[in-house]
Amino acid sequence: MSTENVTIQKLGGQGDGIAQGADGPIYVPFTLPGETVAIARVKSQGTLMSITTASPDRQEPHCRHFGPHGVNGTCGGCTLQHYADAPYRAFKRQLVVDALRSKGLTPEVDDIVAAHPGERRRVVFAARKTEKEMLIGFNQAESHHIVAIEECPIASAGIMARLPAIKAIAAAMAINAEAFRISVLETLTGLDLAVDGIKSLSDKQRRSTVETVLSLRGIARVSLNGEILVEPAKPMIEFGGVQVAPPPGAFSQATKQAEDAMAEQVTAHVGKAKRIADLFAGSGTFSLRLARIGRVHAVESEDKPLAALDHAARNTQGRKPVTVERRDLFRRPLMAQELKVYDAVVFDPPRAGAEFQCKELARSQVKKIVAVSCNPVTLARDLALLVEGGYRITRVTPIDQFLWTSHVEVVAVLEK
């Protein structure tokens, strides 16, 4: 390990500062462009020791666990708390511009829809039982070390207020000193805890977990590896006025604010379409809103979210019909021939994007498409396929859902 002074030239895609060394780039977390810093270096990785010249864009972090000198270690949840709001938002918008440009696409990109502290309704905690205590927190970046948190400015007040309850449930379930994960979703009826990383519980532990949960307030459900252990109240979330009971551990957007911003763009562009396909539909984030406009065909590969969507659609009055289809769109995309019946298509795939589906869409005559993505790189690839097939990108909106990280959501609207 060597110690040296470097000047940070730019931020990388992960939010690390990048300095140019004699033998290539050096990546230094928690630094900003224009700063001169002293670092301890191992190969291409630098650890910030001190700042000689600070950027005018540097601000005080919002949380005591952030940065190289965080309490209990460096929490790996956030990477950009030290960046002032305006340049931080410009950086995230630029990630989208650069990804599109790399594929030869130069549409106008809107200002980013901002995220704010306390909005996260879905948080994944790391947990581990030590000889002394039950640790609940987040992993340090690139490490198995759990930073036990006392605060988290991104998480909702409802989740943070119940941190002692989450800790008590984790203690009842922990078998040994091995780490496990607790996905927490704040729902209308209480917290929904989905635990994985524990193989199985003894009968005694199951009883202890159930008793612990029933003695606490504000916990709707606890599940282990998809199996419900106890459910004092059915967890319910709302998609545009329709209540849905998601299955344990199902995907949901991390903040309601970002979800609403995405849904607003989706429904506005679909306009008056009579027949709509919603691909990678999940539990109905968009399908159940789109059913106000026209008939919806929702396609999803996982059966449990699809069943939740179907149940909600059947039990809601005043909407157009919603049909569902279980189908792996990576292996078996909707073909151009099948797409003929739709006026509009919405797709919101996982990070890998929807390459094969976009190849079929590009061959189709669907008038309107809305692409929703959590990965600007795969989105750019998919949009390039659609543009090649005769579509025009009319709007691109970045949405900040993961505050103080380099992750950015994007909604792109296209017309044939």
Q: Domain map of the chain by residue range?
A: 1-56, 90-115+255-415, 122-237
Q: How many CB atoms lie within 10 A of CB 265?
A: 19
Is the CATH number of domain 122-237 2.40.50.1070? yes
Q: What is the pLDDT of residue 27?
A: 97
Residues 1-56, CATH architecture: Beta Barrel (2.40)
374 in catalytic set? yes
* pLDDT one-digit tens code per residue, 74-127: 999 999 999 999 999 999 999 999 999 999 999 999 999 999 999 999 999 999
Nearest one of 277, 237, 285, 279 to 259, comparing CA atoms: 285
What pLDDT, on a 0 to 100 scale, did the predictor assign at position 97? 98
The response to whether 300 counts as a known ligand-binding position is yes
Phi/psi for 9 (5° steps) reads -95, -35
CATH number of 90-115+255-415, picked from 3.40.50.300, 3.40.640.10, 3.20.20.70, 3.40.50.150: 3.40.50.150
Query: Which residues of the chain fall below pLDDT 50?
Result: none
Radius of gyration of the chain from Cα atoms? Answer: 23
Fold agreement (1-56, 122-237): yes
The pLDDT value recorded for residue 381 is 98
Q: Does 280 belong to an annotated binding site?
A: yes
Q: Which two tokens stand for residue 291?
A: 């059913």
Q: Which residues sit opposite 229 in a β-bridge?
A: none
Q: Contact, 96 vs 109, CB < 8 A?
A: yes
H helices within 295-405, ranges in order? 303-314, 355-363, 376-388
Side-chain-side CA neighbours of 375 within 13 Å: the count stands at 12
**pLDDT recorded at residue 139:** 95
- The strand pairing partners of 187, in sequence order, are 190
Alpha helix (H) residue ranges in 188-293: 203-214, 256-270, 287-290
With CA atoms as reference, report the closest residue to 278 among 266, 292, 269: 266
243 assigned ligand-binding residue: no
CA atoms within a 13 Å half-sphere pointing along the CA-CB vector of 9: 8
The reply to whether 330 sits in an annotated binding site is: no
From the list 63, 78, 358, 374, the catalytic residue is: 374
- Mean per-residue pLDDT over the chain, rounded: 97
